[in-house]
Amino acid sequence: MGKVTGFLEHRRIPDTYEPVDARLRHHREFVRELPVAQARVQAARCMDCGIPFCQNGCPVNNLIPDWNDLVYGDGWRAALEALHATNNFPEFTGRVCPAPCEAACTLNLVDEAVGIKSIERTIIDRGWQEGWVTPQPPAVRTDRRVAVVGSGPAGLAAAQQLARAGHAVTVFEKHERPGGLLRYGIPDFKLDKALIDRRLAQLEAEGVTFRTGVLVGEWGADLPAVPGEPQRVSAGELRAEYDAVLLAGGAEHPRDLPVPGRELAGVHFAMEFLTGQNRVNGGLWDTPPIHAEGKRVVVIGGGDTGSDCMGTSHRQGAVSVTQLELLPMPPAQEDKPLTWPYWPHRLRTSSSHEEGGEREFAVATKAFLGEGGRVTGVQTVRLDWEGGQMREVPGSEAVIPADLVLLAMGFVSPVGSVLQAFGVERDARGNASAATAGERRYATNVPGVFAAGDMRRGQSLVVWAIREGREAAQAVHEFLMG
């Protein structure tokens, strides 16, 4: 590496944020950019460790040691090329990825990991500022046409790869604007939607066509709410008009909580809440249909979506926010010799947690209580976990006052009626059945129909969606061209 002793000389610089009282007044990003000079110092901490476990820990296998070395040597444009070699949208992953690469960093064994995520973000942000990120239209175009269903990270990555290979690509999105859950699910304070829009402009310049407000397939009762009057295109029409179809939608079927009182007004799925605020931020709606102002909010689910609900509730003016998690509290520090280089099980505190609210662990929801048809509280019981089994703690029943309850317990599968419309076989979890290796990788049982991202693997990370979109594009290209 450029600075062999850098990891001995420099400490990790953590991300810095806008003060809480200031950032709660808006929905914009609040992470302060790592200055170029500091990014070079942080890149110097990358070790000449021989085996880059960080690269294997990253789902897209980013060339992390390469671009760290280039950043340290002030080779920013070459670093950007190395970054784009494996990742179509590093400005997305540099903001919302949990950074499994840092967990796998060799330095993480005995010290704090290299700040890979912040360096990645600095590279791509500088690339845009300097005008280095430009459209890459193909030199030669084929006569093959590909339909991509879904405009989230998997669909966009696949569309870009296929367009650059010369194919005519059309992306179908049921909502008003492309972006999938990048646009409608992730809060603006984590991902500015202008970043999506400039990528969409790049894709269009490379030949990708976007058709928004279009429902594909025979949609059933499991269809999430879509505003307006969308057009409808059948699976048969797509298969007849296009040489290949890639299903790259999200895992949009949320996990429900069927306890007494579930029907009460004020109990909503998390995505109903988050998408409303995002539509307001994007100028699509005037006010969100679900608002936390002046309310006691209870969020059920301890993951990232639950954290996003907390941050959004804070910004809307909630009186109180409580997050409930079924599992026991993880340890504050993982056992590194036991878990490294794998993703560790430990307590994670997000920026939304730091903004306020309460977190309760090992708590089960027994019922929703209400008056006049509206929720007024959540009846809970404490849990005792032993040997992976849970039991209720006698006498631990309690009621948490609540005017708004948000269910953020993850997603169980993609929309089943879409897969059914194409005749795609599903696995035991309800996802599209398709392998990721072999001659038929990413191919479903239906000739010419492929699946990738959450629709194939289930609920997962943005970085996994990008990886699958890229690999599926290669599989589609081979199918089309031999």
Domain assignments of the chain as residue spans, ordered by start: 6-129, 145-253+412-481, 256-409
Residue 278 has pLDDT above 90, yes or no: yes
Q: Which position has the token pair 């239906």?
A: 446
What is the distance, to the nearest Å, from the Cα of residue 209 to the centroid of all Cα atoms in its chain? Answer: 23
- Kindly report, residue by residue over 78-130, the tens digit of the pLDDT: 999 999 999 999 999 999 999 999 999 999 999 999 999 999 999 999 999 99
- The pLDDT assigned to 221 comes to 56
So what's the pLDDT on residue 219?
59
- pLDDT tier, 416 (very low <50, low <70, confident <90, very high otherwise): confident
Mean pLDDT value of segment 199-205: 98
The two domains 6-129 and 145-253+412-481 share their CATH topology (first three levels equal): no
- pLDDT of residue 228 exceeding 90, the answer is no
Asked if 233 contacts 172 with a C-beta cutoff of 8 angstroms, the reply is yes
Question: If pLDDT is split at 50, 70 and 90, which confidence band does 482 have?
Answer: confident
Sheet holding 209-212, edge to edge: 209-212, 168-173, 145-149, 244-247, 449-451
Q: State the pLDDT confidence band at 243, using cuts at 50, 70 and 90.
A: very high
Q: Are 13 and 34 in contact (CB under 8 A)?
A: yes
Pairing of β 358-360 and β 363-371: unpaired
Could you tell me how many helices (H) and strands (E) the chain has, helices first? Answer: 20, 18
* pLDDT tops 90 at residue 8: yes
Given a cut of 90, is residue 314 above it in pLDDT? Answer: yes
Mean pLDDT of 280-307: 97
Angle, CA 135 vertex, CA 132 and CA 136 arms, to 5°? 105
CA distance 27 to 116: 26
Per-chain mean pLDDT for the chain: 96
**Residue 388: predicted pLDDT:** 86
From residue 469, alpha-carbon distances to 247, 411, 474, 475 in Å are 10, 20, 9, 10
- CA 291/CA 306 separation, integer angstroms: 16
Query: Span 151-175, mean pLDDT?
Result: 98
| Band of residue 217 on the pLDDT scale cut at 50, 70, 90 | confident
Q: What's the pLDDT score for residue 72? A: 96
Q: What mean pLDDT is predicted for residues 334-360? A: 95
In a 10 Å sphere around its CB, with 0-12 CB exposed, 13-18 middle and 19+ buried, how is residue 395 labelled? Answer: exposed
> Is 256-409 assigned to CATH 3.50.50.60?
yes
pLDDT at position 180 is 96
Checking if the pLDDT of 234 tops 80, the result is: yes
What is the domain class of 6-129 according to CATH?
mainly alpha
Superfamily of domain 145-253+412-481: FAD/NAD(P)-binding domain (3.50.50.60)
Q: Determine the Cα–Cα distance for residues 419 and 146; give it in Å rounded to an integer.
A: 18
Which tens digits make up the pLDDT trace of 30-77? 999 999 999 999 999 999 888 999 999 999 999 999 999 999 999 999
457 pLDDT more than 90 = yes
418 vs 154, higher pLDDT = 154
Report the alpha-carbon distance of residue 404 to residue 394 in Å, rounded. 27
Report, as an integer, the average pLDDT of 345-363: 96
Range picked from 17-21, 387-391, 416-420 for highest mean pLDDT: 17-21
CA nearest 212: which of 223, 200, 221, 220? 200
Mean pLDDT of 165-193: 97
Single-letter amino acid code for the residue at 265: A
Residue pair 429/251 in contact (Cβ under 8 Å)? The answer is no
More confident residue, 30 or 230: 30
| pLDDT average, residue stretch 406-418 | 92
pLDDT for 67 equals 96
> What confidence tier does 225 reach under pLDDT thresholds 50, 70, 90?
low
The count of other CB atoms within 10 Å of the CB of residue 173 is 25
Burial class (CB in 10 A: 0-12, 13-18, 19+), 474: middle
The pLDDT-based confidence of 417 (bands split at 50, 70, 90) is: confident
Record the pTM. 0.96
pLDDT over 60 (residue 331)? yes
**pLDDT at 440 exceeding the cut of 60:** yes
Check pLDDT > 60 for residue 198: yes
307 by Cβ neighbours in 10 Å (0-12 / 13-18 / 19+) ranks as buried
